[in-house]
A = this chain, B = another copy of it.
Amino acid sequence: MKKNYLFTPGPTPIPHDALLAMAQPIDYHRSEESTALILDVLEKLKHVFQTEHDVLFLTSSGTGAMEGAVANLLCRGDKVIVIRSGKFGERWTEICEAYGINVIPIDIKWGDSVPPETVETQISENPDAKAVFATLCETSTGALHDIQSIAHITQQTPTLLVVDAVSALGADDLQMDNWGVDVVVSCSQKGLMTPPGLAFAALSSRAWEVTERSDLPKYYLDYRKAHQRGLEGSVPYTPAITLLAGLQIALNHICAEGIRNTISRHSMMASATRNAIKAIGLSLFATSPANTLTSIRLPDEIDGKMFVKMMREKHGITYAGGQGELSGKIVRIAHLGWMNENDVIVAISAFERGLADIGYDMPIGAGVTAVQEIFKK
């Protein structure tokens, strides 16, 4: 009896009740019921974003909200600082360059996290930089960046801090208001346990002020229009209304658990996974790993692409492989969204059996035992 298990850092498994909410007959997006749905979702997202500011949504992938941050905040020829430590830091650069923005990169070795003092130095050398573009969890490496410390720096300058929390929202802590983050962007298919197709952004007051001066072209990704309509439970363009219905159910689960508990649960699952990987005798790829996912550096003798393919075909287990320069070299296991200790046990026990399948010498049972040791606490 083959069963399928999804451990990719997006999309993540969807609760059954959310799946069924999306299978209900579709409703008109301008009905009173849809208005109430949109208002409810936007209110509950504030809890997840840990903010009192409004959250806006777009019908797009997370990348749409990332591009929106560039197109809505900046002006032609602006200078910005981009922290690049993986594929998604690079994406910030690509988007900025598509709009003719002058990018000062902070290049960090893949797997490492940016030292906050490096950001401080760059800002002091580039006081005219309009924004720092950062990543909470760099999904391609599993590294967590110290956004709290970076926000402490940017708050004392006119430079805005824009954070890609696409994969980490609801898994790694991000206290937008307490820490003083200016813009947070995220999407539906990660910690929010909903299919891909919805993206979100929340802006600080000073970030909203900056949007008034932006002269870059935008229409579909116009934050101000999405925000204004959202306040009325409406939208400028037809939204992915079935995904909103699923998101409402998923958000109910998070709000019932409480975002602080949700993050603690992810912290525990990540800790158990890391403990298991060490017990198996492998090493972690990220020096400062996130709660969102764990990246495992594979021994040279293991072909990561083959391993990931074999795990899916033989065991019904979908991990993510490496992207870009890490292709074949790492395996990424997400512990993200609708997951608990039993999912971690499945992910690790299957990983052990997969290693045994390919004849890799390791102490079978060591991984699951290490998971149990964390969870019994």
Contacts and interface: CB of A to CB of B under 8 A. Distances in A.
Interface of A: 4, 6, 8, 10-14, 19-20, 22-29, 31, 59-64, 67, 71, 94-95, 98-100, 187, 189, 195-197, 216-221, 236-243, 312, 318, 320
Contact of A26 (B13, B23, B60, B94): B13
A28 B243 CA distance: 17
Contacts of A64: 59-60, 220, 237
20 contacts: A4-B27, A6-B27, A10-B238, A11-B26, A11-B29, A13-B25, A14-B26, A19-B23, A22-B242, A26-B195, A28-B318, A31-B318, A59-B64, A61-B220, A61-B237, A62-B238, A98-B217, A99-B219, A189-B238, A216-B217
A189 B197 CA distance: 14
Contacts of A187: 238
A4 B25 contact: yes
Contacts of A11: 26-29, 238, 241
Contacts of A242: 22, 195-197, 243
B61 A238 contact: yes
Nearest to A240: B197
Nearest to A27: B6
A20 B242 CA distance: 12
B59 A60 contact: yes
A239 B61 contact: yes
Contacts of A320: 28
Contacts of A10: 238
A5 to B, nearest CB: 9
A237 B88 CA distance: 11
Given A64-B220, A98-B219, A195-B241, 8 more contacts: A13-B26, A20-B23, A22-B23, A22-B242, A31-B318, A99-B219, A196-B239, A196-B242
